[in-house]
Structure 1
């Protein structure tokens, strides 16, 4: 999912070694260690095919403190100082720390470094600043961290701390201060150097002056140390509450601990988290892709509870968390599809806490509307539809109960019926919404027709097909929650509305086709290229070939609309073989989010993730098996371009985790998983409470990708799906794999 120019993207720093040597060395290391975290390659995908790459982020699972080495992009050869915290998944860093030796006239708030020998894991960072001749080592906890610097030159040494927009002050023992990020949200720091400097100065407009505080844009303090200083150590805490809390976080987590000790603790924490899914078999590269993808699934959302309290940007207040951690920074448009369902399986208590956080933030906002893109700085209301409702019913249907379903329902219903359906907007329902409620679809404008509806974001389009299809699914989810709550009339009402996708189905073309306000299909029309940049005038980031399949909640009816199973499969096949229709340059100039192409199918954007599994619903599961293995092998690789599109902090990686295990949640909100092709010979999933679910795939290999037969707990399984209930009880799913398709299995 592309956040467009509105969000300033700070791309991350990567190791400057060849692709081959990076992969080879890692595999050699894996053979020696074999623990889950040693299979993680944070550099995987750090070169983007077109848009935003993955970032090599150092953090503990779902923790407030995230750090990455910052630079322009992978091909840049300089580091931009050393950030203390990343304030959002793809946002800017706050507070940058620069060790320095040299002429004072060269001091700057941010020092750019040439570097070498960079080594990065999920829990550690090490780099040699070769021109400065400084060795840097880093270890972190959840809200605090430590740097160690070793200086090889005998010149005076400096530590430079800067805030992009804020205030810093020195009290004789520590630097404390804040940086303003957005929406009146501040991030605070409390940094303690183990060695007291001989001088503290303010750096302003490249001029040093003795001072103990600095304020404003690029507020900057410089700590000076004498000649011969060979090592410096700093520890710091981060907070969204205040400087006092930042100090408490430091004392609680890192006081008295060396970088090496923090790294060892972090390593154990990561092994415990990643070890919830144990895989055996496959190649080193396949295991690396798997565990790297799982590591990405722990990047968001983040817990911002700090010793029993948290700052909420949703109402601008500090709250007691009442013993339950509060989570935010979750782009639900991406994460509802597989990221939330994965957590339901392997971290159900955390998923309950996350949903409880969404209930709380809904209550804290001015209107009680379920969030769409809850971030550190509040809900940014990005993208189209309100798919958080799917995560609510998905969790509840799968047995999670430790959140208030009735409160969640009221907030979800408000977000869909009271807030406008117009994308990228937090306005109340308006003209488009009244039309939708009366006619069952969002009306489209003709090419060149001026937008006059005020609730449509001035920088966006109304995305009428994407919104109509997405809201049909959202209203199905509402109907399911209403059923659970015994609200029969509301369940009936929303279930009827869940068929609204039919209002845009063109029976002649078998595509979902935009209509004008009078009910006429927009003509002329091209399902590949109509709709302008990102096809947003009618769809959203993806063209009509992707949204053709966006009826997750009623696939049997979609099959019927397309003329039955045979016609459905034929059209699915066409999706994977249809040409781009233009040169790559021309295609991606208009549809930059739609990379990772196999025909018109795009592996690079979340609305496509369920499409390969649709063959299962039309009697040809062997094509799902073939397709899934091809996609995993070709588009997710242990190299620097090994992710096909915007990964979105687990939104896409969770597809890899599920698909490699052999099943996928096509319809969040149902209890059914669709079976694909297991990649590993053995998978053991720790569901908690000493319950283990095993998947065993005899002879599974690159060649043996087709299911010959299957057994669930010793009983033959002849359908290409499995229920959540069967998994939640524990037990074993067994496959016999082979090199040629058994076209009868699962038919």
Structure 2
């Protein structure tokens, strides 16, 4: 069994690279603007994400606080132990802890009103964020707070000021995307040995989510108080002895629980007033949380945990060695850092976890993961992880997907799942290309027959999002299912990846059936307008039609016709033919990028950001579009467009991401593009060459080999590829094969001031299309 969170020995040279990369990471990038990332403590793919929450907003106001932290804010509410990185929707924020000096207040209070509650002001001048470590001074209390983490345990170190009583508040009422009634039930218990345990069940993005925790203090509390602040409860039963006194309760259950623990001056040795708090979480039980605590943090050595977290991050970041100016390294390594946030570990130290059926299961022979943001991450994040993470990690992801399907009440692979539970968020069955891409690359440490069975079952589950109609008609009808054009297009791509894997497995009947379905994109194409459109059941396109229009539940998912009409990654040559030839395809691409678009047209669509014309880099449907020029014989135009995107959509500052990072997809796009290539079509085993943005970068591959990309003469005045050499031989095609990268070697670009319109322009040098 692989154990997520454990650092493994690395060669000295690679470790040195990792230490340098570690220092380049800026966790504050993405915490402002649209990025929705958090700056707190986490290890690669860890189950704990211990981070400050600046404000807890209601569900209707909470979009900008999806990660709990907003760089523009000036107050901290507390430190909670679970967070998403970069999502556009949210949940989590479990087990919020806040140290207090002086009077105990049980309510959060209001930002901008000091003393109105337990939240505190802070300044970025007093704030530090590094991979696996976070520190800040809570100005209203004079408390220095430090955070670090292992895979399942968050560790706090607080230094209290002299002269004021010290307390630690634990609030089980708060959540990201909060609303009344979200906590269905919870418990706080102080055990005889001083361990605090508890749980809560919430109904939110994932209904019925259960989370358990265990907490210990480095000094025994001298007193405590437990409260249920829920109002208007008609009947609570008969109280046990001492129940009327919150300081005598050893246990409390309810829906709005908060506790406070008191620490006497005599407990702090040497007048340092330092208190450590360690918190483990579990999806299974309070006793399992205690076992996780004992397994990962048996002592009180905060600095050891911090050093171990740094070692894990140094090793992970050493997957790529970049020689570039400081700002480029900062952007690159922060992006790489964000790609290791998810999927996240989701099992206890004994291998047990809670599945989509909300039952407890045992992972046998693999490490279980959850938090699969698949509509986003199948595009670039998962393909990147096949290059920068061990095969075992990728096998664990796929085994987790297969197990989830086997335990699902619906018998399908995850769509968008976290903490083991399905949210049914977004569209498609995009676990399918994740599995197919890995299989085609030779990552096969799982039952391939079970995987293919799960893929076919997910693609054939009629009740899901119009699949029954899709199988009958070859498209999803808009008069029966919303966002029908997008669903037809995405299902067709997913079907193509099933065909690819089935063919490689010798399952010809399955391959033929799904290859036919892969052509269903043609049912959405309207030759009269040149756009992908939604059809009615009777076969007519829905009228009236406005390609500029967008809206939730419209013909398209988080986009409009300008953005979705390019989603045929399995057959770009076929798309060009449908347009009337490559020249017309390029002319339409230019219309997308060169249009004068007022961003106000999308002010009702918070997900559509990062506009260059109609191109919207802040959302995933546009991510492959700039690379499509290469399919039409003009890779130099791809090079131009990528320059526009990189210059305008990424910056080394808190608001430096043009859109939600979406569990690493925005960052994975940056990593690939900076290296000089991108996986437009997962499961094709090809990466389309764009242009390099780094003078030199080396992939330290999981098989022990090294693939180096050199950009000779690269600077702002020389952005075009003049010549490409692969292992000393001319490369005249616009793509790399996966096996060429994994074999190691060198890709050498000679950069020049003017475009070479002949390089990779011949028809035989184009990337894969199923109809070519």
Above 0.5 in TM-score?
yes
* Corresponding residue SS for 1:126: strand
Q: How does 1:130-279 map to 2 (within 5 A)?
A: 130-164=139-173, 165=183, 166-172=186-192, 173-182=194-203, 183-205=207-229, 208-227=246-265, 229=268, 230-279=273-322
> Would you say how many aligned residue pairs link Structure 1 and Structure 2?
683
* Corresponding residue SS for 2:188: strand
Q: Report the counterpart of residue 331 of structure 2 in structure 1.
A: 289
Q: Report the counterpart of residue 23 of structure 1 in structure 2.
A: none
1:36 aligns to 2:21 (yes or no):
yes
Q: Which whole-Å CA distance do the structure 2 matches of 1:489 and 1:232 have between them?
A: 64
Q: Report the counterpart of residue 669 of structure 1 in structure 2.
A: 683
1:547 aligns to 2:564 (yes or no):
yes
1:214/1:221 contact within 8 Å kept: no
1:71 aligns to 2:54 (yes or no):
yes
2:118 corresponds, among 89, 97, 111, to 111
Superposition deviation, residue 205 in structure 1: 4.1
1:482-516, Cα deviation, whole Å (9 max, x unpaired): 21232222221221121111112111221112222
Q: Pick closer, same or farther for the CA change 1:205–1:244 going to 2, 3 Å.
A: closer
Superposition deviation, residue 540 in structure 1: 0.8
1:541-563, Cα deviation, whole Å (9 max, x unpaired): 01000111000101111111111
Q: Which whole-Å CA distance do the structure 1 matches of 2:399 and 2:103 have between them?
A: 54
Moved more, 569-578 or 239-248: 239-248
* Corresponding residue SS for 2:372: coil
1:643 corresponds, among 653, 657, 675, to 657
2:377 corresponds, among 318, 328, 335, to 335
Computed over aligned residues only, the root mean square deviation of the Cα atoms, in angstroms, reads 2.0
2:41/2:147 contact within 8 Å kept: no
Q: Which whole-Å CA distance do the structure 2 matches of 1:408 and 1:624 have between them?
A: 36
Q: Which whole-Å CA distance do the structure 2 matches of 1:663 and 1:120 have between them?
A: 31
1:46 aligns to 2:84 (yes or no):
no
Q: Report the counterpart of residue 380 of structure 1 in structure 2.
A: 423
1:668-689, Cα deviation, whole Å (9 max, x unpaired): 0101110011111111111123
Q: Report the counterpart of residue 554 of structure 2 in structure 1.
A: 537
Q: Pick closer, same or farther for the CA change 1:239–1:436 going to 2, 3 Å.
A: closer
2:474 corresponds, among 418, 440, 443, to 440
2:440/2:685 contact within 8 Å kept: yes
Superposition deviation, residue 160 in structure 1: 1.6
2:41/2:133 contact within 8 Å kept: yes
1:60/1:269 contact within 8 Å kept: yes
1:505-550, Cα deviation, whole Å (9 max, x unpaired): 1112211122222222223311011x5x24x321110100011100
Q: Which whole-Å CA distance do the structure 2 matches of 1:476 and 1:197 have between them?
A: 60
* Corresponding residue SS for 1:646: coil
1:618 corresponds, among 627, 632, 646, to 632
1:389 aligns to 2:432 (yes or no):
yes
Superposition deviation, residue 236 in structure 1: 2.3
* Corresponding residue SS for 2:684: coil
Q: Report the counterpart of residue 320 of structure 1 in structure 2.
A: 362
Superposition deviation, residue 167 in structure 1: 0.7
1:87/1:376 contact within 8 Å kept: no
1:557 aligns to 2:574 (yes or no):
yes
Q: Which whole-Å CA distance do the structure 1 matches of 2:227 and 2:84 have between them?
A: 24
Q: Which whole-Å CA distance do the structure 2 matches of 1:47 and 1:710 have between them?
A: 38
1:329/1:376 contact within 8 Å kept: yes
1:304-325, Cα deviation, whole Å (9 max, x unpaired): 2322322223122222222310
* Corresponding residue SS for 1:59: coil
1:137/1:259 contact within 8 Å kept: no
Q: Report the counterpart of residue 764 of structure 2 in structure 1.
A: none
Q: Which whole-Å CA distance do the structure 2 matches of 1:510 and 1:657 have between them?
A: 32
1:354-399, Cα deviation, whole Å (9 max, x unpaired): 0111111100112321211121141212211112211111111111
Q: Hey, which bits of structure 1, 4+ residues long, moved more than 6 A?
A: none
Q: Which whole-Å CA distance do the structure 2 matches of 1:223 and 1:371 have between them?
A: 40
Give me the TM-score of the superposition, normalised by structure 1.
0.88
Q: Pick closer, same or farther for the CA change 1:549–1:56 going to 2, 3 Å.
A: same
1:146/1:258 contact within 8 Å kept: no
1:455-474, Cα deviation, whole Å (9 max, x unpaired): x5xxxxx1111011111112
Gaps of 5+ in 2: 1-16, 56-69, 109-116, 174-182, 231-244, 762-772
